[in-house]
């Protein structure tokens, strides 16, 4: 199995360090991310208007992204999560559309990058003699 040394939207080196220096463990975590979050965007969009549910969706994404080294996505999700949490605490916060758009763009980049790499890997493995 060939594990990519670079992957768009990921800090692969740092992520592998977090995974005890084991690239295969990181790659497995990326696969879990891909399998766990294919419907995240539609579920998140459906949750908008329900701050508690949206916060939970964003929190799950933030945590998983941090785990696999998708740092830009994790940071963007952390900002959105904090703004939603402030609203839930009773503060009158208007969340700029640009914050949500950025989270959405980061998610798309990371998920598609990981999904394509995982698919490419599985095609290579299946085509071996």
The CATH number that applies at residue 85 is 1.20.120
In this prediction, residue 126 carries a pLDDT of 44
In a domain, 95, yes or no: yes
In a domain, 77, yes or no: yes
In a domain, 74, yes or no: yes
Q: Helices marked H in the chain — which ranges?
A: 12-18, 23-36, 40-47, 51-68, 71-88, 97-126
In a domain, 2, yes or no: no
Digit-coded pLDDT (tens) for 93-108: 999 999 999 999 999 9
In a domain, 119, yes or no: yes
In a domain, 54, yes or no: yes
Closest C-alpha among 13, 35, 40, 61 to residue 122: 35
In this prediction, residue 119 carries a pLDDT of 85
Contact 67, 29 (CB under 8 A): yes
In a domain, 129, yes or no: no
Mean pLDDT of 54-72: 98
Domains in the chain, number: 1
Domain limits for position 69: 12-123
With bands split at pLDDT 50, 70 and 90, how would you rate the model's confidence at 10? Answer: very high
In a domain, 7, yes or no: no
């Amino acid at each position: 199995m060939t594990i990519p040394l670079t992957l768009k939207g990921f800090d692969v080196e740092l992520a592998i360090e977090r995974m005890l220096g084991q690239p295969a463990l990181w790659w497995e975590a990326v696969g879990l991310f891909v399998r766990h979050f294919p419907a995240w965007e539609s579920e998140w969009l459906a949750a908008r208007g329900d701050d508690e549910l949206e916060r939970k969706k964003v929190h799950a994404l933030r945590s998983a992204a941090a785990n696999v080294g998708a740092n830009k996505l994790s940071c963007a999700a952390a900002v959105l999560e904090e703004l939603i949490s402030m609203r839930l605490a009773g503060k009158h916060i208007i969340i700029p559309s640009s914050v949500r758009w950025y989270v959405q763009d980061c998610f798309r980049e990371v998920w598609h990058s990981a999904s394509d790499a995982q698919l490419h890997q599985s095609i290579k493995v299946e085509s071996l003699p």
